[in-house]
């Protein structure tokens, strides 16, 4: 059995990115003993920047249906629940719609038919690399977000030296 020893290459593997994210969320989950303390505690702008998030400034004048209003009002509890939900999706999978429904929806949306199926297969490798790169980037940002939330929780409860 061949063993891969190139740690530089492993640093960028999807498997390691998922493990780093899951580890950060598990650490967050073990640190946050009382999640309800996170309610109404906004993430500070510099924390959002450190986590790689892009959120518009808090603006109470935005209409309730505006997506910007939703993201600008997210508190630490919302981020905590989102990170745990994503971890669960990675660990347990995501419920997929029935195959027939999904195929019909895609065909209607794209106007694709049997003649176009061969064309899509030619660039599968390109699509794979595009999505792999995007997934790796998103997982890195989510990992930073989990670490930022954990550190902010420690500050909120007055214990900033845990685990250091």
Which phi and psi angles does 95 have, rounded to 5°?
A: -70, 125
Encoded tokens for 95: 């419920």
Are residues 44 and 149 in contact, defined by beta-carbon separation less than 8 angstroms? Answer: no
**How many Å is the Cα radius of gyration of the chain?**
20
Nearest CA-CA partner of 73 in 62, 86, 89, 88: 62
The DSSP line for 127-155 is HHHHHHHHHHHHHHHHHHHHHHHHHHHHH
Q: Is the pLDDT of residue 123 over 50?
A: yes
Q: What is the pLDDT of residues 50-106, one digit of tens each?
A: 555 544 444 444 444 444 444 445 789 999 999 999 999 999 988 776 655 655 555
């Amino acid at each position: 059995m061949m063993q891969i020893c190139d740690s530089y290459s492993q640093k960028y593997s999807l498997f390691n990115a998922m493990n780093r994210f899951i580890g950060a969320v598990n650490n967050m989950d073990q640190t946050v003993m009382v999640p309800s303390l996170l309610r109404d505690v906004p993430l500070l702008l510099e924390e959002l920047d450190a986590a790689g998030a892009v959120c518009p400034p808090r603006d109470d004048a935005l209409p309730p249906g505006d997506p910007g209003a939703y993201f600008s009002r997210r508190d630490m509890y919302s981020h905590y629940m989102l990170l745990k939900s994503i971890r669960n999706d990675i660990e347990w999978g995501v419920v997929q719609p029935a195959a027939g429904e999904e195929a019909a929806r895609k065909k209607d949306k794209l106007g694709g038919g049997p003649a176009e199926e061969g064309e899509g297969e030619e660039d599968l490798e390109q699509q794979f690399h595009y999505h792999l790169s995007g997934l790796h980037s998103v997982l890195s940002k989510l990992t930073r977000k989990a670490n930022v939330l954990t550190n902010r929780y420690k500050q909120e409860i007055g214990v900033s030296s845990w685990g250091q």
